[in-house]
Copies of this chain bind each other. A is one copy, B any other.
């Protein structure tokens, strides 16, 4: 199945002013859509990180892709020359997901791999999950993903989107946001983005959620490494009940050693709340130290930066082997990424938590798959009875996204700069902040 063409499309989609320890989401999230065409004229598609650098990296390997057999793609990852002695720097502690140059190769390979799988699937009439060994589930559960946010639905000028959830800068408003999300999508668990305000306010927010939704809705809080070990232990101890029954404490502190300290101190207090990570642990290089020090009990996988779907399956088996849970990380994304996440999750037996998704934060107006937004019902995405990823490109919508990208000044995600621009000119990301 020879590849005849690789087309790379940079698009922008409206994104609401969501807050995290990294700063503030800009009015646009950037994504890259790729098309991989075979000699038979069949096209595989995929979606990955946006902005200039990811698109440039994809264009740079175009010459190595054209003429290749879509089935024989592992060799591309094999040629990864990323040094393995830079584990710490390879994390997402200081850089946003998608922005660490040390992961560029794995991100680029992942983008090509999924497009190949979609191309293969569409060519032979098989769903991507079944190309990966076969689905073990048809419905993939996702979590509600509430954020502290300012007013606004994202976009600028003609692109301004309806603010579906409104401003949420206090516990009550965040709980309202979750209620709304559960009403619309039926989510059965909640991942709450913290690290934004004083930990006591965030503790109060989690507690209010627990009161409101009860123990049947597992809760997670993720401050993206904003806390000291001391603070993390205090929050962990205070929220021991609220995070019980399937919840976890995600990246409370920066780095594997600090994560291990938090774990040890919580265990000393008799608190079993698992620690999860997609900030300290973002590559296989990080795992030996994490395992040796019991730094994480849950790893958040993400095929976009772990090197593709097969690497996520390897990671899952590794996690299962070491009795580590597996969840899934998300970035702002559209329907192609959502379906890709669902397919790899469907083909991964050891997926032990509902996956994250930012999908509720995006708008129908920006979706680039035909038929509009993917359904999330009862909190789940169902694997469709269609070949490949099960989605196709809406070229009118793609053109709108490209036009938007060309028009705006945002070409690289920079939440810290955006925070300074919109909220606080003196703002700096501090690790730890509290």
Interface residues of A (CB under 8 A from B): 69, 71-75, 77-78, 124, 126, 130-136, 284-285, 287-288, 291-292, 310-311, 313-315, 317-318, 320-323, 347, 349
Contacts and interface: CB of A to CB of B under 8 A. Distances in A.
Contacts of A134: 69, 71-75
Nearest to A133: B74
B321 A287 contact: yes
Contacts of A285: 321
Contacts of A73: 133-134
20 contacts: A69-B130, A69-B134, A71-B130, A71-B131, A72-B130, A72-B134, A72-B135, A73-B133, A74-B347, A74-B349, A75-B135, A284-B317, A285-B321, A287-B321, A287-B322, A314-B314, A314-B318, A315-B317, A317-B317, A318-B318
B349 A77 contact: yes
B78 A349 contact: yes
Contacts of A69: 130, 134
- Helix, strand, loop or mixed for chain A's interface? helix
Contacts of A311: 317
Most buried by B among A74, A130, A322: A74
B321 A288 contact: yes
Contacts of A322: 287-288
A4 B131 CA distance: 20
B317 A74 contact: no
Contacts of A314: 313-314, 317-318
A124 to B, nearest CB: 5
A20 B354 CA distance: 50
A390 to B, nearest CB: 14
A347 B72 CA distance: 9
A313 B311 CA distance: 10
Contacts of A349: 74, 77-78
B75 A136 contact: yes
A69 B138 CA distance: 14
A11 to B, nearest CB: 29
Nearest to A121: B71
Nearest to A129: B72
A91 B288 CA distance: 24
Contacts of A131: 71
Given A130-B69, A288-B323, A135 B318 contact: no
A340 to B, nearest CB: 16
A87 to B, nearest CB: 11
The 8 closest A-B pairs by CB, nearest first: A72-B134, A314-B317, A71-B130, A74-B133, A74-B134, A284-B321, A78-B349, A78-B136
